[in-house]
């Protein structure tokens, strides 16, 4: 058994590490976007402009903590904390390397799905509590979008569960010794990726906050650190979805021996994050109803086909042996 102190160390470093990573990611994304968009991005504060990440945090923390007088005050403050908490909780089940994880639950995957679902509340509640028409529209959109994409997200990983025979993320990684699930479960991966973007509501699926339509959507009325928490929650979500994707489709920490496992995990996650940024730089935003029909008319059938095929092949293999 792992001793208690070790677990505390991991909890602390996960908390500290992910939040710092999320803050730095804001800077990193802007640099990367700048690179792809023929411009510089933030490059003045500190080496490569990395100081901007910390300057941003300082700015957000020192801003006036304003709650609009017309809003529903308790929920207005409660909403942004939900997303932070839910996303951070999600990291509890991520196995970074053999032995380096907070908890190896036997329902880890379900736990992750549950936590990301909780994050929907923050968007919905934030939108409702603001008592602002743009925020309301954003909140409504996000409720519809996230609830529907949740369905495929859950279903898309079931193929992996069938193949590995477990909900535990550690077991899932171990089941990929020979072949990453991204190969055998490509459809599942594809749907999970799309649903993951929708879940973190980033471009092209940023309809709840679609700047060009709804100003800032559900967080129109938010400023200061409460806005910061939404922002941080979004980036934590990106990191979380990327780490889970690494874990269940790209063999987690598995990799050639010349580097430590945790490095492989970090590298794979990092590449996936870059892919998220690239998507943002490249793809336009579909209309809300187009997004919904894509979900129900394309994604759902794809997921079901994937499930049936996986199940069928598994049964067939069983009858063979």
Positions in the binding site for other proteins (CB under 8 A): 33, 36-39, 133-134, 137, 203-204, 206, 210-215, 280-290
Alpha-carbon distance of 184 to 190, in angstroms, equals 12
Tokens of 96: 């970074």
> Smaller CB distance to other proteins: residue 212 or 257?
212
> Smaller CB distance to other proteins: residue 285 or 307?
285
Direct distance between the N- and C-terminal alpha carbons of the chain, in angstroms, rounded to an integer: 36
Start-end of H helices in the chain: 4-36, 51-62, 73-90, 108-129, 133-156, 158-164, 169-174, 181-184, 186-199, 211-214, 224-249, 261-282, 288-294, 300-320
> Smaller CB distance to other proteins: residue 63 or 285?
285
DSSP 279: H
In the complex, what is the shortest distance from the CB of residue 278 to other proteins, in angstroms, rounded to a whole number? 10
> Smaller CB distance to other proteins: residue 22 or 210?
210
In the complex, what is the shortest distance from the CB of residue 287 to other proteins, in angstroms, rounded to a whole number? 5
Bridge partner list, 97 = 100
In the complex, what is the shortest distance from the CB of residue 35 to other proteins, in angstroms, rounded to a whole number? 11
In the complex, what is the shortest distance from the CB of residue 298 to other proteins, in angstroms, rounded to a whole number? 13
> Smaller CB distance to other proteins: residue 217 or 228?
217
Tokens of 259: 């580097």
DSSP 168: -
In the complex, what is the shortest distance from the CB of residue 109 to other proteins, in angstroms, rounded to a whole number? 31
> Smaller CB distance to other proteins: residue 57 or 281?
281
In the complex, what is the shortest distance from the CB of residue 205 to other proteins, in angstroms, rounded to a whole number? 10
CA dist 265 → 96, 212, 273 (Å): 6, 36, 12
Alpha-carbon distance of 230 to 82, in angstroms, equals 9
């Amino acid at each position: 058994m792992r001793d208690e102190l070790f677990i505390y160390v991991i909890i602390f470093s996960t908390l500290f590490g992910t939040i710092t990573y999320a803050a730095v990611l804001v800077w990193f994304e802007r640099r990367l976007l700048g690179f792809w968009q023929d411009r510089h991005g933030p490059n003045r504060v500190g080496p490569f402009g990395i100081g901007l990440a910390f300057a941003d945090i300082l700015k957000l923390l020192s801003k006036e903590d304003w709650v609009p007088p017309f809003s529903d005050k308790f929920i207005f403050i409660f909403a942004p904390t939900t997303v932070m908490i839910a996303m951070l909780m999600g990291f509890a089940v991520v196995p970074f390397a053999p032995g380096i994880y907070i908890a190896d639950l036997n329902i880890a995957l379900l736990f992750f799905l549950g936590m990301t679902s909780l994050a929907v509340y923050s968007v919905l509640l934030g939108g409702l509590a603001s008592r602002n028409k743009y925020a309301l529209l954003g909140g409504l959109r996000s409720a519809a979008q996230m609830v529907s994409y949740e369905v495929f997200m859950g279903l898309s990983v079931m193929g992996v569960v069938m193949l590995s025979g477990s909900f535990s993320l550690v077991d899932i990684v171990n089941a990929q010794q020979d072949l990453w699930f991204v190969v055998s479960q490509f459809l599942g991966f594809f749907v999970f990726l799309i649903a993951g973007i929708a879940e973190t509501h980033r471009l092209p699926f940023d309809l709840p906050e679609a700047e060009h339509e709804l100003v800032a959507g559900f967080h129109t009325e938010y400023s200061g650190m409460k806005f910061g928490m939404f922002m941080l929650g979004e980036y934590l979500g990106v990191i979380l979805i990327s780490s889970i994707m690494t874990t269940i489709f790209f063999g987690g920490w598995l990799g050639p021996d010349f580097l430590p496992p945790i490095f492989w995990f970090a590298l794979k996650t990092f590449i996936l994050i870059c892919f998220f940024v690239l998507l943002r730089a490249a793809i336009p935003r579909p209309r809300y109803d187009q997004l919904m029909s894509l979900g129900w008319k394309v994604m759902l059938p794809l997921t079901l086909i994937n499930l049936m095929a996986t199940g069928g092949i598994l049964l067939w293999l069983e009858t063979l042996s």
